[in-house]
Amino acid sequence: MNGEQQIISNRKQTKRKVLIILVLCFLFLVLSVTAGLFYIQRQLRLPASFSGIEKIFMVKSGEGVKQIACHLENDGLIRNSFYFEFYVWKEKLSQKLQAGEYLLQPDMTIKEIVDAFAQGRVVSNEIQITIPEGFSVRQIEERLVEAGLVKEGALAISPSASEYWAIYEFLKDLEEGTSLEGFLFPDTYKFYKDATPK
């Protein structure tokens, strides 16, 4: 073998080694990315806990994804804030998360929590009460007592129209001391659970 053939042979071997190294690097990269994606998907499906008590979680108005994720992690509702942020980014839901109070179980996955926030499945702080036509103040009070909104006797002292003249223009035409009985029209009303009788 002469010198020229030796150089050509060495070049072929070098090219072959470089090609093998590139193929191995590519395979390593593909396997690493696949393993990483598999791991992330697994983290998204794992709840923070398989037992525990449900918690009320508050998403404040104007709160960002990073803040929400940190609060969830601190409350033990997710394992790692990164995966929550990643899922919200991947699904393009950052602008769809809604403020409010949510009832979350520790066995919820990140996907389930994000879905609850995006769909606005908040815990209601309201009670609906239907007041039929012809109900007196006493009958209305009975309904409110049944719903746990007031204690019996809370509406015993019927307010007079003069107490509300400044608030409601239509009451100014009534004489002082006129009862407000009959001014609550038949309808379904929503009351906050912590509302006062007034």
Mean predicted lDDT score pLDDT of the chain: 81
**Do residues 174 and 156 both lie within one domain?**
yes
pLDDT of 63 = 92
Q: What is the count of structural domains for the chain?
A: 3
Query: Looking at 119, 144, 172, which one is the last position of a domain?
Result: 119
pLDDT tens digits, 131-186: 888 888 788 888 888 877 778 876 655 565 566 666 777 777 777 767 667 767 78
**Do residues 31 and 81 both lie within one domain?**
no
**Do residues 147 and 185 both lie within one domain?**
yes
Q: Which CATH number fits the domain that encloses residue 95? A: 3.30.1490.480
Angle (CA) 79 117 78, round 5°: 5
Query: Looking at 119, 143, 174, which one is the last position of a domain?
Result: 119
Higher pLDDT, 134 or 69: 69
**Do residues 71 and 41 both lie within one domain?**
no
Strand partners, 192: 126
Question: Would you say residue 165 lies in a domain?
Answer: yes
Question: Would you say residue 198 lies in a domain?
Answer: no
The residue to which tokens 């407000």 are assigned: 180
Q: Nearest to residue 43, comparing CAs of 109, 102, 119?
A: 109
Query: Looking at 99, 119, 139, which one is the last position of a domain?
Result: 119
**Do residues 131 and 187 both lie within one domain?**
yes
pLDDT of 143 = 83
**Do residues 135 and 188 both lie within one domain?**
yes
**Do residues 115 and 72 both lie within one domain?**
yes
Please provide residue 43's backbone torsions phi and psi, each rounded to the nearest 5 degrees: -65, -35
Question: Would you say residue 2 lies in a domain?
Answer: yes
Q: Are 48 and 112 in contact (CB under 8 A)?
A: no
Question: Would you say residue 171 lies in a domain?
Answer: yes
The residue to which tokens 């746990």 are assigned: 148
Q: Are 77 and 55 in contact (CB under 8 A)?
A: yes
- DSSP result, 68-96: HHHHHHHTTSSS-HHHHHHHHHHTT-TTT
**Do residues 38 and 67 both lie within one domain?**
no
Task: State the residue range of the domain holding 100.
Answer: 55-119
Instruction: Enter the pTM of the model.
Output: 0.53
User: Which H or E run includes 191?
Assistant: strand 187-192
Question: Would you say residue 197 lies in a domain?
Answer: no
Tell me the three-class secondary structure of 23-37, residue by residue. HHHHHHHHHHHHHHH
Please provide residue 196's backbone torsions phi and psi, each rounded to the nearest 5 degrees: -95, 160
**Do residues 114 and 151 both lie within one domain?**
no
Question: Would you say residue 134 lies in a domain?
Answer: yes
Strand partners, 59: 100
**Do residues 63 and 21 both lie within one domain?**
no
Residue 37 confidence class, pLDDT cut points 50, 70, 90: confident
Q: Are 189 and 128 in contact (CB under 8 A)?
A: yes
